[in-house]
């Protein structure tokens, strides 16, 4: 025969085991429920970082070497100057440039534009922030190097980075 105290101790032991099993089951269920949340969070992080990388790359790497108009040479303008810095042309032939301004208006002095200026040819073109613009002119008939520059940003004409060369060959 067992005493009342022994029966109570056995019942407490059973209740404690059942409580421990219930707690373990609850913990397992919480862990299982947490896995889909972590996966969803990870996917959201990957999508956001991927979108940010794509947007940043499109500004810094995109459109380089491509033109939105057939037969036009893409010329990138930024706070770093012109890219390419040397434009090749044949004497007396058309020069077709597709300007691409990668800077936004907040970064540009002089009204939010870059300029393409060739004093020797009386050329003055304004290219708005974050825009493309085509411009066509006839190359000089005399072979040689002709300076062009941007005079609205980053030190303007005085800045060596804001200059380029039109190299005219026979």
CATH code for the domain of 139? 2.60.40.420
- Asked if residue 68 is part of any domain, the answer here is no
Q: CA 100, CA 33: separation in Å to the nearest integer? A: 50
Host domain of residue 23: 1-62
Element spanning 37, H or E = helix 4-60
Q: Are residues 54 and 78 in the same domain?
A: no
- Where are any strands of DSSP class E within the chain? 73-78, 81-83, 86-90, 94-101, 113-118, 123-128, 132-138, 144-149, 163-169
Q: Are residues 51 and 77 in the same domain?
A: no
Q: Are residues 80 and 155 in the same domain?
A: yes
- pLDDT at residue 138, as a whole number: 94
Q: CA 128, CA 107: separation in Å to the nearest integer? A: 12
- Asked if residue 129 is part of any domain, the answer here is yes
- Asked if residue 117 is part of any domain, the answer here is yes
For the record, the structure tokens of 14 come out as: 């059973």
pTM to 2 decimal places:
0.60
Residue carrying structure tokens 């026979």: 170
Single out the residue in 62, 82, 113 at which a domain terminates: 62
Number of domains in the chain: 2
- pLDDT at residue 129, as a whole number: 84
Backbone phi and psi for residue 61, each to the nearest 5 degrees, phi listed first: -120, -25
Q: Are residues 6 and 32 in the same domain?
A: yes
- pLDDT at residue 78, as a whole number: 86
Residue pLDDT tens, the chain, 170 long: 578 888 888 888 888 898 888 888 888 888 888 888 888 999 999 999 988 887 776 555 555 555 567 789 999 988 888 999 999 999 999 999 999 888 877 766 656 788 899 999 999 999 888 888 999 999 999 999 999 999 876 667 778 788 999 999 98
For residue 95, the cross-strand partners are 137
With CA atoms as reference, report the closest residue to 93 among 136, 139, 135: 139
- pLDDT at residue 89, as a whole number: 95
- Asked if residue 67 is part of any domain, the answer here is no
């Amino acid at each position: 025969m067992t005493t009342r105290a022994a029966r109570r101790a056995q019942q407490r032991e059973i209740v404690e085991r059942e409580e421990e099993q219930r707690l373990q089951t609850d913990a397992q269920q919480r862990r299982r429920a947490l896995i889909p949340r972590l996966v969803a969070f990870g996917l959201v992080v990957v999508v956001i970082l991927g979108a940010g990388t794509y947007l940043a790359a499109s500004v810094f790497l995109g459109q380089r070497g491509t033109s939105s108009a057939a037969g036009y040479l893409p010329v990138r303008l930024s706070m770093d100057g012109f890219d390419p810095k040397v434009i090749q042309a044949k004497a007396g032939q058309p020069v077709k440039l597709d300007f691409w301004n990668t800077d936004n208006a907040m970064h540009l002095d002089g009204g939010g534009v870059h300029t393409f200026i060739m004093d020797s040819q009386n050329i003055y073109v304004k290219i708005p922030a974050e825009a493309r613009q085509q411009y066509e002119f006839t190359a000089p008939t005399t072979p040689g190097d002709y300076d062009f520059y941007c005079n609205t940003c980053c030190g303007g004409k005085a800045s060596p980075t804001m200059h380029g060369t039109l190299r005219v060959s026979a």
